[in-house]
A and B are shown apart, each in its own frame.
Chain A
Amino acid sequence: SQQGEEDPQALSIQEGENATMNCSYKTSINNLQWYRQNSGRGLVHLILIRSNEREKHSGRLRVTLDTSKKSSSLLITASRAADTASYFCATDVESGYSTLTFGKGTMLLVSP
């Protein structure tokens, strides 16, 4: 089964509103990352939060991590139509050489 699972699968909001996406995972991690993918394009890294961090900001992005609940959230404030994309969380496991495991993503639609 997937290590990371995003929720909701799809989110539709108006410009200016905030968008919140959640990610849950199963095993202990070293870090959790969020990526964005515009339709038909490659993924773009947004932010990385390590297991010993609880919150991180980058511009209009705010990521939280709760390792006790094995969950993370991505908040996009004051959303814009250009934020329309799919958002994926990715986790690595806490042992040996680690690859990233991606969730199925949240598709965000921001309407003007």
Chain B
Amino acid sequence: SQTIHQWPATLVQPVGSPLSLECTVEGTSNPNLYWYRQAAGRGLQLLFYSVGIGQISSEVPQNLSASRPQDRQFILSSKKLLLSDSGFYLCAFSSGGAGGETQYFGPGTRLLVL
């Protein structure tokens, strides 16, 4: 069966520190992968998506970056965190295709930047 994992579950980081959030998918090949951020009481903002290894599309310019070193691994990074980076980060995948299909979400990482 298809599963998606995210870690860590929660993270408290000081302003200016680096960030690395990891997402892995099991049970499917060549998935489309997505990173979203959700502010408190708000909808989801798409940050990055990837249709293949090394292929990253950025939706919102910011101090975050994403990488896909392996087919089923998606990493969200920052060199220097800002207070505004606090939020709930969700990774999702869909089973390839032209997009717009059902997405399956991980449990999320709650990031607090102090």
Name A residues whose Cβ lies closer than 8 Å to a Cβ of B.
2, 30-31, 33, 35, 40-45, 48, 88, 90, 92-93, 96-105
User: Considering only CB atoms, which chain B residue lies closest to A92 in the complex?
Assistant: B100
Also in contact, A43 and B105, with CB within 8 A (given A88-B44, A92-B100, A99-B46): yes
B90 in contact with A30 (CB, 8 Å): no
Main secondary structure of the interface of B (DSSP, over half): strand
Name B residues whose Cβ lies closer than 8 Å to a Cβ of A.
34, 36, 42-44, 46, 49, 51, 59, 88, 90, 92, 98-108, 110
Main secondary structure of the interface of A (DSSP, over half): strand
Also in contact, A31 and B100, with CB within 8 A (given A2-B43, A99-B59, A102-B44): yes
Task: Beyond A40-B108, A43-B92, A98-B99, list 9 extra A-B contacts (CB 8 Å).
Answer: A42-B105, A42-B106, A44-B105, A93-B100, A97-B51, A97-B98, A98-B98, A100-B100, A100-B103
